Chains A and B, each alone.
Chain A
Amino acid sequence: MSVFKYEKDADGIVTVTMDMTGPVNAMNDEYNVAMNETVDKLEAEQGLTGVVFASAKNTFFAGGDLNMLVSIQPQQAEEFYEGIIETKERLRRLEKLPVPVVAAINGAALGGGFELCLSCNHRVAWNSKAVQVGLPEVGLGLLPGGGGVVRMVNLLGLETALPYLLEGKKVNAEKALAAGLIHETVDTLDELLPRAKTWILENKESETAAVQPWDQKGFKIPGGKAGTPKLAQTLMMAPVMLQQKTRGLLPAPEMILDAATEAARLDFDNAQIVEARNFTRLATSDVAKNMISTFFFGLNKVNGGASRPADIASSKVKKVGILGAGMMGQGIAYSSAMAGIEVVLKDISQEAADKGKAYTEKLLDKRVSRGRMSAEKKAEILSLIKATDADADLQGCDLIIEAVFENMELKHKITKSTEGYLAENGVWGSNTSTLPITQLADASSNAANFIGIHFFSPVDKMPLVEIICGEKTNDETLARAFDYVRQIKKTPIVVNDSLGFFTSRTFGTYIDEGIRLTQEGVHPIQVDNMGKAIGMPVGSLTVHDETSQQLSHKVVGTQKDMGLFVEPVDGDAMSEMVDWIYVENNRGGRHHGGGYYTYGEDGSKTIWQPLVDKYHKPDHGIEEQDMKDRLLFRSVIETLKCLQEGVLRSVADGNIGSIMGIGAPIWTGGYLQFINTYGAKRFVERARELQAKFGNRFEPPAIVVDKAEKGELFT
């Protein structure tokens, strides 16, 4: 029996109920067979009056087969292309049936799923949170290759279609209706199929109900063809605005923009050919492989608990205590309350604690004013947070997160004085980005329940949390910290204790290398531009101005005091710079009156000229490709070391952590996945070249040399 259940009723309407093997319906080989048979049958059906496509799953249809897509190699391009053309032809035959075809959308219809809907004459959706439609392929480095680009452009016009295609914008049923992506909604799931059938019966006499708009005589694309002067501005500006986001590093939006433009220029069927070519180009690209590997498979692995001890029952935090209501503490309080957790936000004074709570109120007010939250819901969330200066209020917390200043002594003191308020077997989490967890746990009477929970700033926006296990941290504590992070809807990566853990340690190399380039004579503005050129959100020097030279100075000082400081390979460039710019010249960073740059009140940012005068040598002779590779390879090599030393426990954590925590370029799919498509062998060779030219910090770690020799991937 087919996974597409085929039933014809007394009115001559065939309902095709998709119920594929596995949890969702997807565009895979099974689909190809089922859809082929179904279309064959429909074309031959006698007395057919209409067709309804429905799903037996909670979702309507999930999209493409990512396992297949991630494995396509460039030499399979032609075969892949032929397959895409066949997929398109099936959908084309469906929409050209002489009777109306209706999509009855009961749940998410994304990517290939929405392309199937677009190939139906009429789209009815259940008006429910469960329904989402859109074409999110761009987020995985792909494009909607099942006619999605061409149909969206023909349906909405080039300008209106672009945001859905370029940003992968998903919308609920109500918004989809308003935007013209679907035709009508029903209030209950029970009404869905009957309404779909009724529509067919209502339109029995209609001459156009079975004909797609683009197949109707005299059809004109909304907004006009690509050649129309009205679109000249769009065609000129769209690539410019796109490149501000992609910097030319992400081929998917570029190929989408091209396919969409061609869809507005050519006739429907020829545009489909262009779409297939562009899709083939993307599917065979390294960037798509990187993005699918990390943003789909990697993320699922990480969020699914691959780094969480499996044999421990899942838990939920009921009451969390947060010590310190500063920038981090108030953000953690907000994220926790949003997840319905009771929060005790404690600071030295009631005033400081109240201020911390006011942060949540401010964020909630914004939501309410934008119509994203009701006033009642806001009050409910706010009532979960108790701002206090009294330790006693912490009584019974099953988790306490300490988020005070980065000072070992202070943290020790607070651990000792507050630990007793934890519920029995409660977990103590320290939010630190620099101090070793094992040493922090020295102050605890129960080091097994002590763990690092490193949030990123601003907490309400940053999706990542780095969980750090100290030497004595036990599995149950790890599992509970992990569950808490999932409870507040963030993504936890798990690492072992090491100076700077994984994220800060790796991120530090990006700043360090930028400083070295500057010291070698590269113009500081060029240093920052090279960082942007490889896809980093901002340049090394700019980001150091943000994190502050003052903090760098303190951290190194602390490390030296504690005997943890290790002299960097190739010399301590960072300290040399910080000693000069901060200690000597009092430039501690953007929030301390300026750093490498001077910041005007009007938002202007200009390079601090003495920096250029001191270091810039126009004849430095360093090639741009070397600058770019140096900035990228430093982070990749540090990540490899973390994996080799066991700081990272999994490749997926390294990829997700680098992307979500420290802004690794999207196109790389993370600092380990990057090597998979760059090629381990090529990576080792290039690293050795950089080592010979610029110093031993580029020496490829054994773990990658080994992978290169064995021809293995980092998985």
Chain B
Amino acid sequence: MANSAFIYDAVRTPRSKGKKDGSLHTVKPVDLGAGLLRELQSRHDLDTSYVDDVVFGCVTPVGEQGSDIAKMVVQNADWDESVAGVQLDRFCASGLEAVNTAAARVASGWEDLIVAGGVECMSRVPMGSNGGAMGGDPEFSMKTGFVPQGIGADLIATLEGWSREDVDAYALESQKRASHAQANGYFDKSVVPVLDRNGITVLEKDDFIKPDTTLEGLGKLKPSFEMMGQFGFDDIALRKYNTLDKINHVHTPGNSSGIVDGSSAVLIGSEKAGKDLGLTPRGRILATAILATDPIIMLTGPGPAAEKCLQKAGLNKSDIDLWEINEAFASVAMRYMKDLGVDHEITNVNGGAIAMGHPLGATGAMLVSIVLDELERRGLKRAMLSLCVGGGMGISTIIERV
């Protein structure tokens, strides 16, 4: 590769329940994103005119998140007039797609400094309010056999023979790890408190984590996708997965990713940018991969994407110290580990979206700060980041400390 794409810093907001009783509901998306840009600026005394572009993922780009929110965030942060902004949408991978896109542009040598991140205020712009052919155009739905992704998650569990207890046990572990990490300050370096216009703190730390979670409590929750399945979606999925006679609906709000508000930002630049601005790189992006698998089961892309990413990087699984898979659903993370043959001990070591929530367009770039902090804390070198993506896609990125 011509140039290295260095990670100079990575920050994120805390996450909170994406409903009207969530702590961030009163915060506008443009404010949530702008807070992080201002933090990057002040941390590094950044000359913002040096920044070529701000790439933000956002999965529901309508209403107040519509009309290229990335550019609106730039203006709202009072950054230099010369800084551009672009919003992109690759469903749940949008945040990591922003990172990968920024990295590619820097690595190409055509640009020197890009902020990549995302924003999603799910309490203010509900998931699905942007419509789309998937589920919104009957002809397309019938042609492609559209099935909501929760059913795909349940289908994965059914195919693998994972019971409700199995996925609940995974969820419990996610809660335990996240609570432990938060209690021990592992997240403090990158989580930037959200302040109101008076400088009063709205939210300092993730408040979605439920440290008191028990298996019994999880066991009481109702399956989220059983009714939908009975309406006929199960039959559509089983038309393809036709050796099964039914789908075991094991996923609940307790073992699926939470709906939350949040934002993230990663400062990615060339070596030259670092020198020019006096920045010290924390890591670099080694390789990225995107692909698609069966859109009906929808959530089996991450494993193959990670394999592809390793191949591109010329690395083996043993070269990866930590693995991070977005916990869209428990079965997704479990399938990822099974596909790759990696141990839970080194995967999602500080929990994941089941405990902390998944602000769709922001999550991918959040993983960068989470994993980079942990590599530094443990003194390790490389990590693989992956997410499952709507439409059957999978995305992966390998980062390395420098």
**Which A residues form the contact surface with B (CB < 8 A)?**
227, 229, 232, 235-244, 247-248, 254, 257-258, 261, 523, 525-526, 529-530, 533, 605-607, 624
Q: Which residues of B contact A605 (CB under 8 A)?
A: 245
Contacts of A261 in B (CB 8 A): 137-139
Inter-subunit contact A254/B242 (CB<8 Å): no
- For A238, A240, A248, A607, the residue with the greatest tally of chain B CB atoms inside 10 Å of its CB is A240
Is A240 in contact with B136, judged by CB distance below 8 angstroms?
no
What number of A-B contacts does a CB cutoff of 8 Å give?
68
Bound-state CA distance A240–B136 (Å) is 12
A243–B245 touching, CB < 8 Å: no
- A237-B231, A254-B139, A261-B137 in contact; A533/B239 too (CB < 8 A)? yes
- Given A525-B242, A606-B245, A258:B138 Cβ within 8 A: yes
User: Are A232's CB and B141's CB within 8 A?
Assistant: no
Closest to B232 in A: A240
28 A-B pairs in the complex with CB atoms less than 8 angstroms apart = A232-B131, A232-B136, A235-B137, A236-B136, A236-B141, A237-B232, A239-B138, A239-B141, A239-B146, A242-B138, A243-B142, A243-B232, A247-B239, A248-B142, A254-B138, A254-B142, A257-B142, A258-B138, A258-B139, A261-B138, A525-B243, A525-B245, A526-B242, A529-B238, A530-B242, A533-B239, A533-B242, A607-B245
Q: How far is the CB of B144 from chain A (nearest CB, A)?
A: 10
* Residues A243 and B235 in contact, CB atoms below 8 Å apart: yes
Contact A523 B131 (CB under 8 A): no
Give bound CA distance, A581 to B236, whole Å: 31
Q: How far is the CB of A147 from chain B (nearest CB, A)?
A: 20
Q: Which of B226-262 contact A (CB under 8 A)?
A: 231-233, 235-236, 238-239, 242-245
On whether the beta carbons of A235 and B142 are closer than 8 Å, the reply is no
B238's closest neighbor in chain A, by CB? A529
Bound form: Cα–Cα A254–B135 in Å: 14
Instruction: Give every chain A residue within 8 A of B245 (Cβ-Cβ).
Output: 525, 605-607
Q: Known: A227-B131, A526-B242, A526-B243. Is A244-B235 also a contact (CB below 8 A)? A: yes
B239 contact set on A, CB distance < 8 A: 247-248, 529, 533
Question: Assuming the A-B contacts A240-B236, A241-B232, are A235 and B138 also in contact, with contact meaning beta carbons closer than 8 angstroms in the complex?
Answer: yes
Q: Are B142 and A239 in contact (CB under 8 A)?
A: yes
- Please report which residues of chain B, range 83-141, place their CB below 8 angstroms from some CB of chain A when the two chains form the complex: 128-129, 131, 135-139, 141
10 closest residue pairs by CB, A with B: A529-B242, A240-B232, A258-B139, A239-B138, A523-B243, A239-B141, A236-B135, A244-B232, A526-B243, A239-B142
Q: Which residue on B lies nearest to A604, using beta carbons?
A: B246
Does the CB pair A240–B141 fall under 8 Å?
Answer: yes
A residues in contact with B243, CB < 8 Å: 523, 525-526, 529
CB neighbours (8 Å) of B135 from chain A are 235-236
**Nearest Cβ on chain A to B294's Cβ, whole angstroms:** 15
Most chain B C-beta atoms within 10 Å of own C-beta, residue among A235, A236, A243, A525: A236
- Is B138's CB under 8 angstroms from A238's CB? yes
Number of interface residues of B (CB under 8 A): 23
User: What separation, in Å, do the CA atoms of A605 and B245 have in the docked complex?
Assistant: 9
Query: Which residues from chain B contact A530 at a C-beta distance below 8 Å?
Result: 242
Chain B residues, CB < 8 A from A227: 131
- Note all chain A residues with C-beta closer than 8 A to B145: 248
Asked if A243 and B236 sit within 8 Å, CB to CB, the answer is: yes
Known contacts A240-B236, A241-B232, A248-B142; 10 further A-B pairs (Cβ under 8 A): A235-B138, A239-B138, A239-B142, A240-B231, A243-B232, A243-B235, A248-B145, A254-B139, A257-B139, A523-B243
Closest to A246 in B: B142
Known contacts being A240-B232, A241-B232, is A257 close to B138, with CB within 8 Å?
A: yes
Find chain A residues with CB under 8 A from B139 CB. Answer: 239, 254, 257-258, 261
A432 to chain B, nearest CB (A): 35
Q: How far is the CA of A523 from the CA of B243 in the complex (A)?
A: 6
Q: What is the chain A residue whose CB lies nearest that of B239? A: A533
Question: Which residues in chain B, 256-300, are within 8 Å of chain A measured between CB atoms?
Answer: none
Across the interface, which residues of B come within 8 angstroms of A241, CB to CB?
231-232
- How far, in angstroms, from A247 to B135 measured CA to CA in the complex? 17
Q: Give the residue among B142, B146, B231 with the most A Cβ atoms within 10 A.
A: B142
Return A141 CB to nearest CB of chain B, in Å. 16
A135 vs B244: C-alpha distance in the bound complex, in angstroms?
A: 38
Find the A residue at minimum CB distance from B141.
A239
Q: How far is the CA of A211 from the CA of B138 in the complex (A)?
A: 31
What is the bound-complex CA distance between A254 and B128, given in angstroms? 24
Residues 7-26 of B contacting A (Cβ, < 8 Å): none
Report Cα–Cα, A592/B54, bound state, in Å.
Answer: 70
A236 to B137 CA separation, bound complex (whole angstroms): 8
Within 8 A of A (CB), among B180-235: 231-233, 235
Complex Cα spacing A227 to B136, Å:
9
Give the distance to chain A from B29, nearest Cβ to Cβ, in Å: 20
Q: Which residues of B contact A242 (CB under 8 A)?
A: 138, 142
Chain B residues whose C-beta falls within 8 Å of the C-beta of A533 in the assembled complex: 239, 242
**Roughly how many angstroms separate A342 CA and B243 CA in the complex, as a whole number?**
52
| Across-interface contacts of B141 in A (CB, < 8 A) | 236, 239-240
* Chain B residues whose C-beta falls within 8 Å of the C-beta of A240 in the assembled complex: 141, 231-233, 236
CB-defined contacts of A254 to chain B, threshold 8 Å: 138-139, 142
* In the complex, chain A residues whose CB is within 8 Å of the CB of B137: 235, 261
What's the least CB distance linking A29 to chain B, in Å?
32
Cβ–Cβ < 8 Å partners of A229 in chain B: 129
List chain B residues, Cβ under 8 A from A243.
142, 232, 235-236
* Chain A neighbourhood of B244, CB < 8 A: 525
- CA distance in complex: A261, B238 (Å): 26
Contacts of A247 in B (CB 8 A): 239
Q: How far is the CB of A388 from chain B (nearest CB, A)?
A: 47
Q: Which residues of A contact B238 (CB under 8 A)?
A: 529
CB distance from B331 to the nearest CB of A (A): 21
In Å, the complex CA distance between A540 and B375 comes to 57
Q: In whole angstroms, what is the CA distance A530 to B240 when docked?
A: 10
A236 CA / B141 CA spacing, docked (Å): 8
How far apart sit A239 and B239, CA to CA, in the bound complex (Å)?
15
- A177, B245: Cα distance in complex, Å: 45
Q: How far is the CA of A239 from the CA of B245 in the complex (A)?
A: 21
> B146: nearest residue on chain A (CB-CB)?
A239
